[in-house]
Every structure is written in structure tokens, then in C-alpha cells.
Structure 1
Amino acid sequence: MSEPPICPLCAAGPCGHYHRDTRRDYLQCPRCALIFVPAAFHLAPQAERAVYDQHQNSPADAGYRRFLSRLYTPLIAELVPGACGLDFGSGPGPTLSVMFEEAGHPMAIYDPYYAPDTTVLTGQYDFITATEVVEHLAAPGRELARLVGLLRPGGWLGLMTKRPTGHAAFGDWHYILDPTHIGYYSEATLSWFASTHGLSVRFPASDVALLHKGR
């Protein structure tokens, strides 16, 4: 008999059925409310990268910059001059890091496929961004805790990910059609994570969360 599924964010379980479509199952955690796809339905790394390789993001794309501004604008308002950051999951065309650097904020970048220098994950940062990243994480509890550990006291973790709006709308939600999207974070889920790690959190947009590490 297989072990009952546990939550990849908070390790609670067993997690129950939330939704099923023709491709895969979705479970929900009883403690942190994360909705997630079981590991049996995750893409292999090669197939996952093939999806990412189709992305056409670039700092020269004004539309992409406007999209990223949903996180950039509220976050930069919180930063002191010269604050140093890390863009975690920078993707094949790093752009948010360029936007912050243009404003005088040096940034390191990390991406397991496109910028895999893990030495940047041993530093300390005033702010960390992860735009359209957390929904791809197979082990979000471990990865997000690591990012919190890289923040200096008073630092900011800026997340951009679309949030589910309820069970009735979930089956028709375009966000679940991407086969690389395997985790869905409601305000309740992100609030649980913030409280558990001693952070405060606010939601300046429907797909943005700013988590603050106290001094």
C-alpha cells in the first residue's frame, strides 16, 4: 500500500482530493491549504525544460516589463538605495533583474536550467524575487525556507504567482493547463507560510505577495 500523500509545503497529511481532470489529480493540504499536483504527474526534467525553452521573454519586451512591474513597483518602493537582490528562477531571458539594476540595485540571478550557479545561494540579500516560479516547485517547503534564510534582517521576499479563487472556478482556470504548474498558493497558504517563518505578508496585487523579514 502506498503512503498517504503529504503536503510538499508544510509536510502535513494526509492530503485529500481537490480536483481531477483528464491529465492529472490535484490534492489540497488540510493545514496550509496548498493545492498541489502529486509527484506521479510531474514532468521529467528534460520535458520540463522543453516547455521553458518556448518562453520568449526579454528585457527589450515592453509588455513583459509591464507584466513584471506588478511586482517591481510595490517592491522597489520598500528598498533602500543600493539594496542588493537575488532573482530566483530568472528563466531564459532575465528581465526583472535588469529592471532593478537599472534603478541602482545590484542583483544576482539563479535558475536551475539557465543560470545554475549555486554559489549565489550561499549569499545574503536585502531582497529576493521569484516571479512565476513557486508554482513550478516540487519541494516548495524546502526551497522557500532556503530563500527566507538568505534574506538579511529587514529583507523582502517578493513572489508573483496567480492565486486560486475557489473550488468552483478551479476546473476552468487557465493556470492549471500548464503542465509545469504543480502548486497553487492562496492568500491563506501564503499567510500560513509567512506566520510559520516569522514574516509579515501583504498582497498588493491579485498575483503578488510581499513577505517581510523582521529585524
Structure 2
Amino acid sequence: MKHSYFIIQSIKQPARQVYQTLSSGVFLSIFLSVGVLITGLLYSACASVSKIEIASAPMHTKTVLEKHMESLVDGYPIKRMIPYIATHNQTSVAFLVAIAKKESNWGKRVPVDEEGKDCYNYWGYRGAGSRGIEMGHGCFGSPKEAIRVVGARIDTLVNKYGLVTPEEFIVWKCGWNCDGHSNESVSKWISDVDIYFDKVNKS
């Protein structure tokens, strides 16, 4: 009997080992499958987020005119406004750049608020901005606001009234009547604006 007992034990032992080996293999297979599934889901999620980010923030491609203007005004405060200026038609763009050169030297002579902060008014515009009136001129809250307001006024003069030359655009300086200004100052304004109007408009 003792001999038979040892025979039975020797037969049962390998069976237990086989069972343990199979259990480990199944567990490992399940673990790897779950890992692959999770990795796939994470990859898909990341790809979707990347597509959303790309779609929501398209790259801005600068036009030849925009690059030319940036080169022209390099080193002056108005350069930060070029992306907003470039959204207007070319004639309005030329006036925005040329008048700003004449009236403020592209942002180096400007009205400021009580704290000495830039009003972003580089065109001598007298209408109120979101920060009111400072030093007799409109005080804007940002470069974007400045171009939106001043650009809209220039667009109106160009598109509605057909003013497309610096000589016609003297209304920016005088209003509709230049009687209160000397002939010399009027001629100087026109000639100075014309220099940069041509540089932008013929680029």
C-alpha cells in the first residue's frame, strides 16, 4: 500500500503543475490583450485631440504685402498691428500705414493715458476709443481695437466716398474744408503721406 500511495502522488503532482502553467498562460494572455486594447484607445484619443487642435488653430500664412509692410515698419511700434492692418483691402492698408507715418512716426509720437500707457492711436483719430479721449485723441484698449475702428473709417472713405489718393484723402487732416489750414501744411501732408502710400500700394 505504501508503494501504491507514492505512485498516486507522483501522478498527481505533474497534473497540478500543468494546471498552474495553464492558469499563468491564460492570465498573461488576458493581461497582454487588455494592455494592447488600452494602448489602442489612448492612441486614438491622442490622434483625435491633435486633429481638433490643428483644425481650431490653422497656421497663418503671411501674404507678400504683409511681409513687405513688416519689413518697412521694422523697429516701430506699429509693427504689432500689421496682422490686423493686413485684413483690409490694399488701398486702405496703404492709407493706414502712410497716415500713421505722418501723424505719429509709426507709433513713436502718440497720445497716452494718465498712467502714460499707449493709446494705440497712431493716426490722429479724434473719435473716442474704449478708454475714452486722451490728449484730444481717441484712446484705444488694444492694437486690434485701434485697427478695427480707424480701419473702418478709412474703409468708408475709400469704398463709400471713393477717396483713393493722398490728395483726395486730405479730408483726414482738414475735414471736408481746408480753409482753416495753410496751403503749405496741406501740401506737406499730402506729399508726406504720398511717399509711403506709394511704397505700400505698389508693393
What is the TM-score when the length of structure 1 is the normalising length?
0.21
More helix by share: 2
More strand by share: 1
Larger Rg: 2
Structure ranking higher on relative contact order (CA contacts 8 Å, 6+ apart)? 1
